[in-house]
């Protein structure tokens, strides 16, 4: 009896689905190329329902909106929530400080040919301009001028990194947005990366990390047995307020020096910034996430792909864990993660 009822219900569901598909086709024929305009609430409802089906089913049933369109809506709604436009007043005139500083630097170089960027940086500080020496140097290099002869600045940042390469790690944050029962939540992901090997560790994920949480993550990273920073001497980080004095002291107590990057000096943490660009471009920007558990799973899958399957140009375009090419002439197979979003190829050993 139960089997008969279940079979009848399944036939009824299939008939309903067939009707809705036919109704969908007719609607598409009537609309033609006309654009369908939806409000934010309608877009959110469709995006949520679509995640339960996946790309393959959406394409199979020929829905009115493609999976790429649903992802586009998701990114739009995320941007709308965090742009802060409803909390900002009218902006005044945009200051032209950068252009003024550039003109001053070029003027000082022209009037004082023997000055390097160290001396010019000091003059700008005396004039009340809070600008880094890297900015002054960049202006001079862009203008085709010679490098600075001033001794205090002869060791460039790249020289410092390369001379300490094996003992340096870098850390940073990136954000991930996920839908939940209360709407959109932004999670902060704290990671550390080894500059020499490109190995990465997700140290923590939290929607509102505080100093207590940061101190615990620091203790985990410097654990004497299996801490990610074991054997490292320097951890470089930006000027985020979460990197507190106690955080730096916790690292220092284990022999790891926390090196804060100077103000207004971009491009000094390129390896960490490259990882953020990669995970967002290759994975996070192509998905709609639901809840913290989903966020953790997706990031875990990407990190495993990053460490074991993905080649890295900074390492000579080889993999981190198995840099040697596959031997033999076995069939080329494809390993997939996250429903085929992440792919890697290998030879069948059989």
Instruction: Provide the 3-class DSSP secondary structure of residue 184.
Output: strand
Q: How far is Cα 209 from Cα 203, in angstroms, rounded to an integer?
A: 12
Q: Return the half-sphere exposure (C-beta side, CA atoms, 13 A cut-off) of residue 31.
A: 13
The DSSP-derived string for 61-120 is TT-SS-HHHHHHHHHHHHHHHHS-GGG-----PPP-HHHHHHHHHHHHHHH-TT--HHHH
Q: Taking the chain (350 residues) in consecutive chunks of 10 residues, what is each chunk's mean pLDDT?
A: 54 70 72 72 74 66 70 74 61 66 86 80 82 86 65 55 80 96 94 95 96 97 94 93 96 94 78 94 94 97 93 82 72 88 80
Residues 309/335, Cβ–Cβ less than 8 Å: yes
pLDDT at 155: 54
Residues 148/49, Cβ–Cβ less than 8 Å: no
pLDDT at 160: 66
pLDDT at 213: 96
The reply to whether the predicted model has a pTM over 0.75 is no
Domain locations along the chain = 9-82, 104-154, 162-313, 321-347
pLDDT at 281: 92
Of the candidates 201, 225, 230, the residue with the CA atom closest to the CA atom of residue 304: 201
Of the candidates 64, 150, 139, the residue with the CA atom closest to the CA atom of residue 104: 139
How far is Cα of residue 237 from the mean position of the Cα atoms in its chain?
15
Topology annotation, domain 162-313: Nucleotidyltransferase; domain 5 (3.30.420)
Residues 332/345, Cβ–Cβ less than 8 Å: yes
CB atoms within 10 A of CB 275: 19
pLDDT at 345: 82
Of the candidates 143, 138, 103, 151, the residue with the CA atom closest to the CA atom of residue 124: 103
């Amino acid at each position: 009896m139960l089997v008969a009822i279940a079979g009848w219900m399944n036939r009824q569901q299939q008939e309903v689905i067939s009707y809705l598909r036919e109704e969908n086709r007719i609607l598409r024929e009537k609309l033609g190329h006309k654009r369908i305009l939806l409000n934010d609430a309608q877009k959110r409802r469709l995006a949520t329902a679509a995640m339960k089906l996946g790309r393959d089913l959406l394409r199979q049933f020929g829905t009115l909106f493609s999976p790429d369109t649903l992802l586009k809506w998701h990114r739009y709604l995320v941007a709308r929530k965090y742009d802060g436009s409803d909390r900002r007043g009218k902006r005044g005139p945009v200051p032209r400080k950068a252009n003024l500083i550039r003109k001053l630097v070029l003027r000082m170089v022209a009037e004082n040919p023997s000055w390097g960027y160290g001396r010019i940086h000091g003059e700008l500080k005396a004039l009340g301009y809070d600008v880094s020496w890297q900015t002054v140097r960049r202006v001079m290099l862009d203008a085709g001028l010679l490098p600075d002869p001033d001794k205090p600045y002869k060791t460039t940042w790249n020289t410092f990194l390369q001379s300490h390469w094996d003992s340096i790690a870098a850390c940073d944050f990136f954000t991930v947005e996920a839908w939940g029962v209360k709407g959109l939540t932004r999670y902060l992901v704290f990671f550390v990366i080894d500059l020499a090997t490109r190995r990465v560790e997700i140290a923590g994920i939290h929607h509102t990390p505080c100093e207590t949480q940061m101190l615990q993550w620091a203790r985990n990273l410097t654990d004497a047995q299996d801490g990610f920073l074991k054997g490292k001497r320097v951890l470089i980080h930006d000027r985020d307020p979460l990197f507190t004095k106690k955080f730096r002291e916790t690292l220092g107590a284990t022999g790891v020096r926390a090196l804060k990057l100077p103000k207004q000096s971009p491009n000094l943490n390129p390896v960490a910034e490259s990882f953020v660009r990669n995970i967002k471009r290759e994975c996070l920007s192509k998905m709609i996430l639901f809840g913290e558990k989903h966020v953790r799973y997706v990031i875990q899958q990407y990190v495993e792909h990053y460490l074991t399957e993905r080649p890295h140009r900074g390492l000579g375009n080889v993999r981190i864990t198995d840099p040697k090419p596959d031997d033999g002439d076995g069939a080329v197979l494809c390993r997939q993660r996250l429903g085929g979003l992440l792919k890697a190829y290998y030879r069948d050993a059989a």
